[in-house]
């Protein structure tokens, strides 16, 4: 995934989490406020919404800070976990308390949905964010490693090019120096050096020609050897394929013979075995009636299976011709 897709997934996770938190908070306030008002002196009824607001505010703090820490790859320790589960359990207890006191099990189940969804969403969102952060870190590390490898390869190529250029310059200088020395020696000892040079040149040419001839003969022998080895390998592979094909056909023939050896039956065989017998009969070229007698099924059913096999064979033939 690229960075745009990762940000889109994070936005979807964040929006979904906050929608669930907002819905759970609203539902919790509407559910817990009457319970708190019923257990509060009449003159303090106006304070009833404070309790669900305080608990839900703690939920918002936990969800928000967990998202930030997960994005940064940090870990807040055990206290955030304690606060997260404490607020979740408090929200669950406050939401189901009224129904539990009235022993309304259906009410308990209904009012437990939002708190439980909030608790699981908080834990799941935290796990998702940590996983996304870990995946992004790993992706960034791979990208940096690949960039470093590319830079090292470019540097190695540059150094190799500089080394080749330096070697070429040194070689050219060496050749020029040797040429000058050679010309100086020829000037001093022209008469003697001409004959020596001719003999040396002739010997060098003969040696070079001999070496080139031997190298050509050696390459030719190697090519012939490789050609013989390739032909031998191809023959062996063809023999193995023929042997495997023969064994496969022999096994299929034995299997068909075993299926057809049972003879006619007076009752319908199980469909799987009947299909196998029909397939074997089709492969052996038996008529439809003979196949129906061997499996106990109707001629119409066997004819349908025969037509399916014909269609399959025709499709394979067409596919082989197309490929």
Q: What is the mean pLDDT of residues 75-103?
A: 70
- Could you tell me which residue, 55 or 273, shows the higher pLDDT? 273
Alpha-carbon gap, residue 84 to 120, rounded angstroms: 11
**The pLDDT of residue 291:** 79
Cα separation, 131 vs 107, whole angstroms: 36
- For residue 90, give the 3-state DSSP assignment: helix
What is the overall mean pLDDT for the chain?
Answer: 76
pTM for this structure? 0.32
Catalogue the long-range contacts made by 270-275 (C-beta closer than 8 Å, 24 or more residues apart). 275/305
Long-range Cβ contacts of 129-135 (<8 Å, 24+ apart): 129/10, 129/13, 129/66, 129/67, 129/70, 129/71, 130/70, 130/73, 132/6, 132/9, 132/10, 132/13, 133/70, 133/71, 133/72, 133/73, 134/73, 135/1, 135/6
The two structure tokens encoding residue 169: 């310059």
- What's the mean pLDDT in 78-92? 70
pLDDT of residue 261 exceeding 80: no
| pLDDT mean over 6-14 | 66
Query: How many Å apart are CA 78 and CA 73, to the nearest integer?
Result: 16
Mean pLDDT of 157-168: 90
Per-residue pLDDT, 52: 65
Question: What is the reported pLDDT for 4?
Answer: 60
- pLDDT interval class at 254 (50, 70, 90): confident
More confident residue, 209 or 269: 209
> Has residue 35 got a pLDDT over 70?
no
């Amino acid at each position: 995934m690229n960075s745009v897709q990762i940000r889109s997934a994070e936005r979807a996770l964040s929006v979904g989490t906050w929608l669930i938190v907002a819905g759970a908070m609203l539902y919790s306030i509407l559910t817990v406020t009457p319970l708190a008002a019923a257990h509060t002196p009449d003159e303090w009824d106006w304070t009833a919404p404070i309790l669900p607001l305080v608990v839900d505010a703690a939920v918002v703090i936990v969800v928000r800070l967990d998202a930030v820490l997960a994005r940064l790859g940090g870990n807040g320790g055990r206290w955030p976990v304690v606060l997260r589960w404490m607020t979740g359990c408090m929200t669950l207890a406050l939401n189901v308390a009224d129904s539990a006191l009235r022993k309304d099990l259906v009410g308990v189940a209904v009012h437990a949905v939002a708190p439980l969804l909030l608790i699981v969403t908080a834990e799941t969102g935290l796990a998702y964010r940590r996983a996304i952060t870990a995946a992004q870190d790993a992706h960034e590390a791979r990208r940096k490693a690949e960039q470093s490898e590319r830079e090292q390869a470019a540097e190695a190529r540059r150094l190799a090019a500089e080394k080749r250029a330096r070697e070429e310059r040194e070689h050219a200088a060496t050749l020029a120096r040797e040429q000058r020395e050679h010309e100086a020696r020829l000037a001093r000892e022209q008469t003697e050096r001409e004959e020596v040079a001719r003999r040396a040149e002739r010997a060098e040419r003969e040696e070079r020609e001999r070496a080139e001839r031997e190298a050509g003969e050696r390459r030719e022998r190697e090519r012939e050897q490789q050609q013989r080895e390739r032909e031998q390998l191809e023959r062996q592979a063809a023999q193995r394929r023929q042997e495997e094909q023969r064994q496969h056909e022999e096994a299929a023939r034995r299997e068909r013979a075993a299926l057809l050896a049972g003879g006619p039956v007076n009752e319908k065989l199980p469909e799987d075995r009947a299909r196998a017998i029909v397939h074997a009969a089709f492969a052996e070229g038996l008529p439809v009636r003979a196949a129906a007698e061997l499996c106990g099924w109707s001629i119409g059913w066997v004819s349908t299976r025969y037509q399916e096999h014909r269609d399959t064979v025709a499709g394979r033939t067409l596919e082989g011709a197309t490929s």
